Structure 1
Amino acid sequence: MTQDYKNILVAVDGSDEAELAFQKAVSVCLRNKAHLLIAHIIDTRAFQNIASFDETMVEQATSMAKQTIAEYIDFAKKQGLTDVKELIEYGAPKPLIAKEIPTENNIDLIMLGATGLNAVERLFMGSVSEYVIRHAPCDVLIVRTNLDNKK
């Protein structure tokens, strides 16, 4: 028995790991004839610690996110994927990716790049992928390799 996924979420953050997850998400969507939701979370908590907080910082982050997602959508469509949507959210990435977005969008598979954090960073911050694995209401696939299953 094979698992068919219909609504796939891939969370991107501009990292190489997220790029690998995105590419595999497109491939999985094509095989499953699934809908792809590309999400980018702008972590507004990072801006709260800056004394000279300026709304232009959020606008710049949003502009960069839109540009990156537009490139991802263009790539997905060139691969033959027609059912692609984007989502830019503001807030804490962990609960948004693990709970809110999947619940609101009937997601049955979340795909994420493997964490780029080292052991000390994971100890203090915890990785998003680790949190999502523990709290998501659906299957989670952590991508570590490219489309040829090589690092």
Structure 2
Amino acid sequence: MLQQYTKILVAVDGSYEAELAFRKAVEVAKRNKAHLFLIHVIDTRAFQNVSSFDSAMVEQVTETSKSTMEEYIKTAKEAGLDDVSYSIEYGAPKTIIGREFPKKQGIDLIMIGATGLNAVERLLIGSVTEFVTRTSTCDVLVVRSDLDNSPALDVVNKRSTIEG
């Protein structure tokens, strides 16, 4: 018997890799007749170093995130997936995506883009993807290619060559 997922979580952060994960997650959710949860985590540690911290900054980031998430919902529905929702969370992305949200919602599959960080950035701040794959208690699918199975790195490298 094939594994059927019922609650799929996809983390989106505006990166190209997250976009690939979202597009594949929509297709997997449709095939499994699963509920797709979209999550965006606002890393509150980024605000701790701002000396003139005010709530207007958090509100602006939240509003931008809401409009982005609503676009994702619209895209998923246009692709034929009706059972989709989103959540904007605040805190450390690693633990929220890898542990807290999946436990709270009963997630049985996390789909996440391969890290967009370079080696130095991974060393200094760590990779959310790496943490999620190492610590999650449910299945994790790391998306490394687009819907045509072209490697994401090929597309990113082509884009940077064109832009550079």
- Alignment TM class, shorter chain as reference: over 0.9
Q: Give the TM-score normalised by the residue count of structure 1.
A: 0.98
Write the distance in 2 (CA, Å) between the matches of 1:98 and 1:81.
24
Q: Does residue 9 of structure 1 match 2:9?
A: yes
Task: Work out whether 1:145 is the aligned partner of 2:145.
Answer: yes
Counterpart CA distance in 2 for 1:37 and 1:82 is 11
State the number of aligned residues: 151
AA at the equivalent of 1:62: T
Q: Does 1:119 align with 2:119?
A: yes
SS of the counterpart of 1:80?
coil
Gaps of at least 5 residues in structure 1 are none
Please give the per-residue CA displacement for 1:2-46, whole angstroms capped at 9, x wherever unaligned: 211100000100111111000000000000000000000000110
Partner secondary structure for residue 74 of structure 2: helix
Query: SS of the counterpart of 1:40?
Result: strand
CA-to-partner distance for each residue in 1:63-103, whole Å, 9 max, x for gaps?
11101110010011111111111100000000000000000
| Greater helix proportion | 2
Deviations 1:105-150 (Å, cap 9, x if unpaired)? 0000001111111111111111000000111110001111110011
If you compute each CA radius of gyration, which structure gives the higher value, 1 or 2?
Answer: 2
Alignment of 1:1-150 (within 5 A): 1-150=1-150
- Helix, strand or coil: the match of 2:73? helix
One-letter amino acid matched to 1:124: L
> Deviation of residue 53 (structure 1)?
1.0
Structure 1: distance between partners of 2:25 and 2:104: 19
How far apart, CA to CA, are the structure 2 residues paired with 1:115 and 1:54? Answer: 31
One-letter amino acid of the counterpart of residue 28, structure 1: V
Q: Tell me, what secondary structure is at the counterpart of 2:80?
A: coil
The CA distance in 2 between the partners of 1:58 and 1:111, in whole Å, is 27
